[in-house]
Amino acid sequence: MTWSRETTAIAAASAVVVATAVMLWAAFGVRFDEIALFVGYELVFVLGPGWLVLRALWTCPGGRLQQLVLGWTLGYLIEIAAFAATAASGMRSLLFVYPVVVGVPAAFVAARRRREFPTEADRESRTATGAIWLGAAACVLLLLYAAMVGFTQMPLPRDVTSATHQEDTVFAISLAGEALHHWPVTLPVVAGEPLDYHLFAYLHMAAVSQVTGIELSVVVMRLYQIPLLLLFALQLVWAGRRIGGRVAAGLAGAAVVLFLGELDASNETDFLFTDLSFFWLLASHTFLVGLVFFVPAIVVLADLLARDPVPRRVVWERWVLLAALIVGCLGAKSYAPLLVLGGGLSLFILWHLVRERTIHRAAVGAFVLAGALYALASFVLLGRNTGGADIEPFAAFQEMAAMPQLDNHLEDVWGILDSQGVHVVLGTIGLLGVPLLGVALLLRYRWGSISTDTTWFLCLFGAGLPALFLLDHPGYSQFFIVFFGVVPGALLAGAGFVEFWQRHGRASIGLVSVAVVALVLWAIVTWHLSDVPVWPGLVLAGVIAVGATITRSGSAGRSGIAGLAAAVLLVAALNTPLDWLPTLSDRASAGRPLYNQELHGITAGLYRGLRWVNTNTPTDAVLVVNNHSLMPDRSDSKYFYYSALAERRVVLESWDYTPQTAARGVFSLPEVLSPFPERLRLSKGLYATGDPRALRALACEYGATHVIVDNAHGAPVSSRFLRLRALGEPVYANWDIEVYAIRGVAC
């Protein structure tokens, strides 16, 4: 068999991307045996079964790229379902044979279908060699960004003397550990409390650890995100090509989503306009998994809304796939993607009603399907907790870090200007300048012939915007809704930029070059002059660019638009590097670790002690701990290392990420406002006074089996507690931690 140039390029480019991933993993502490186990798991337990099921279910699976992204996505859903089913049935060992149980029948059906419904090769799926290598370069850059933003800040606990990790990641390890050892999954940081939450990401982490035996901290902090990021990038190229009609539009759309952030070209303040989207791809965990199900869902919906003349069986296959992907969205990120889907469908139905004077039956059917699945998930799994969300118009703009700076510079003119109005306008442009500019360009050239696909993606983009203008939520969680809507908007923007370049870009190459040189020089300058307030002018440039795009015509207008567009795009491209590289460079040049060590979140001694607990205690052990916060002043409660690294439940570890705290509409609560005062009183009483009644209550009412003394963070224990140790057998100790097994307590 002779390979075509396209196949050869795909194989070579894939090898480069895989080699980059392996080198980054090895450079940041992953052992080669762990890499081999994980890659094998990804192929055998995720990609293989998913692709076979896709070929078995779909009569016309499409070209290579479509088969890859849909099969890979289905593989995650099937793997998660297999883990949940085996865990719920108490037969976890059956997960090891799931690829055979699912893959063999699927392969048989797929082979039979291929004989019954032979299809010609999809010519549109063929891709130029240059585009393949551009895509590979984008994937390599994405992996380098992931290492810069994620790996440098998340050292493996087994490799450090002390480090403080981002709390969401430690909490993710805690939940994955709970899923690995218990079913149903409850709240490990408050033992016995139910957990109504979107768990698919954590079930996937637990499945990887169960099958491979790799420690969860390695799975979560290094391994599992890399294939998901690559899948997400491929999905963006696939969806962008669908919208723009060419591979260039797909590549441009992926670049807008992944590499073009807010209009912030200084390193003075991270997330000047609260553009947390790329950071959340690595830190939120559920966000990335939710996007991986969301992108193919909106493309499959585009197929259904287009109502192309296809056989009825193909239509039903699309509906089945859509239902599966909506389930994936719900299980991965609960309400956020569903609100965007539902809002987008509502806008699309309204648009079609106004334009065609008829009801779009497929859109209504999709809306009913999404609503029914959401209602079922809320009743069975997620509950009806809003997590503290509240309607508060324009609160998101007041919380942007840019606004105090703006107030300082313009305080003398606020008497004649509406400060809130200026905040809203500039905040919107600063956060969404790139997608707004690209969408404006696309509409300018396609206004007379807007396709159904374009309309659908516009509706999705619009559906995410009310959360920006109307909602307030602890921890900026309303921005998840915004960013789910921004993804289809950014894909449209990529098509718009390609459209402009195809029409006018070459004629404006001189001005574009000047803009590129100017922005590169600015990046060099601002690296060292972080106190220069540059963003108001950059935001103004974005406003001018959008206005010029819509109003100007002629060669001068085109050149001006090209230069301004280049400036806006380059400012957005500089955002992430300037947020991270100067800090990393300063730490490296000073001989300090690249990661945070300020609060000593985990120490080598604590790590060893907690891993001893993991290895030497039963999985149903419950711990009592004497520390509940990273902060010395106990102003919050986000310390999750005990349950994460020991993989054991804790009577009361921390409370800030519990439904009880979120329901109060806040992100952090101090000790005096803990929603679990009785657990806190008993725990503090045990260590402070050695009260045997407290120990008895902890053991009998909350199931405590072991007492942890954290000498690195917790308050010093009293002499009375030391005498109480007669009721507990010392089973492990080092300089940072002591572990006691509770003995002789009669309930």
| Higher pLDDT pick, 671 / 187 | 187
CA distance 197 to 185: 9
CA distance to 475, 599, 636, 672, per residue, from 633 (Å): 20, 12, 8, 12
SS3 449: helix
Model confidence over 194-224: pLDDT tens digits? 998 899 999 999 999 999 999 999 999 999 9
Model confidence over 41-71: pLDDT tens digits? 999 999 999 999 999 988 878 888 999 999 9
Position of tokens 């893959």?
A: 103
Residue 646 reports pLDDT greater than 50: yes
CA distance 349 to 358: 9
| Segment among 245-254, 532-541, 652-661 with least mean pLDDT | 532-541
Q: What is the CATH number of domain 602-742?
A: 3.40.50
- 597: tokens are 């060590």
Give all strands (DSSP E) within 212-345, no chain letters.
Answer: none
Residue 362, Cβ neighbours under 10 Å: how many?
A: 21
CA distance 100 to 178: 27
CA distance 218 to 247: 35
CA distance 215 to 199: 19
Residue 382, Cβ neighbours under 10 Å: how many?
A: 18
Model confidence over 500-521: pLDDT tens digits? 888 776 655 555 555 556 555 6
Contact 240, 249 (CB under 8 A): yes
Percent of the chain with pLDDT over 90: 58
Q: Mean pLDDT score of the chain, rounded to an integer?
A: 87
Burial class (CB in 10 A: 0-12, 13-18, 19+), 527: middle
Please report the sign of the dihedral spanned by the C-alpha atoms of residue 208, residue 212, residue 214, residue 218.
negative
Residue 109 reports pLDDT greater than 80: yes
| Higher pLDDT pick, 111 / 292 | 292
Identify the pLDDT of residue 688. Answer: 83
Residue 122 reports pLDDT greater than 50: no
Q: Which residues contact 587 (CB under 8 A, 6 or more apart)?
A: 593, 594
Residue 686 φ then ψ, to 5°: -60, -45
| Higher pLDDT pick, 401 / 625 | 625
CA distance 107 to 23: 34
Upper half-sphere CA count for residue 286 (Cβ side, 13 Å): 24
Residue 280's H or E segment, with its range, is: helix 277-283
Identify the pLDDT of residue 713. Answer: 85
Strands 602-603 and 193-194: unpaired
CA distance 658 to 189: 9
SS3 672: helix
- 520: tokens are 């590169």
Give all strands (DSSP E) within 211-359, no chain letters.
Answer: none
- 106: tokens are 């699927």
Contact 253, 491 (CB under 8 A): yes
User: With DSSP H G I counted as helix, E B as strand and the rest as coil, what are the percentages for the chain, rounded to 5?
Assistant: 70, 5, 25
- For the chain, the structural domain boundaries read 602-742
CA distance to 78, 204, 212, per residue, from 101 (Å): 12, 18, 19
Residue 301 reports pLDDT greater than 80: yes
Model confidence over 312-352: pLDDT tens digits? 888 999 999 999 999 999 999 988 999 999 999 999 999 99
CA distance to 16, 51, 247, 416, per residue, from 504 (Å): 34, 41, 19, 40
Residue 423 reports pLDDT greater than 80: yes
Closest to 216 in 3D by CA, of 173, 256, 272, 157 = 173
Model confidence over 357-408: pLDDT tens digits? 999 999 999 999 999 999 888 877 766 555 566 788 888 898 888 888 777 7
- 153: tokens are 């800040």
Residue 540 reports pLDDT greater than 50: no
Q: Which residues contact 418 (CB under 8 A, 6 or more apart)?
A: none
Burial class (CB in 10 A: 0-12, 13-18, 19+), 27: exposed
pTM over 0.85: yes
Residue 636 confidence class, pLDDT cut points 50, 70, 90: confident
Helices (H), 118-161: 129-149
Q: Which residues contact 372 (CB under 8 A, 6 or more apart)?
A: none
Upper half-sphere CA count for residue 525 (Cβ side, 13 Å): 11
| Segment among 76-90, 95-109, 473-487, 708-722 with least mean pLDDT | 708-722
User: What's the average model confidence in pLDDT over 78-102?
Assistant: 96
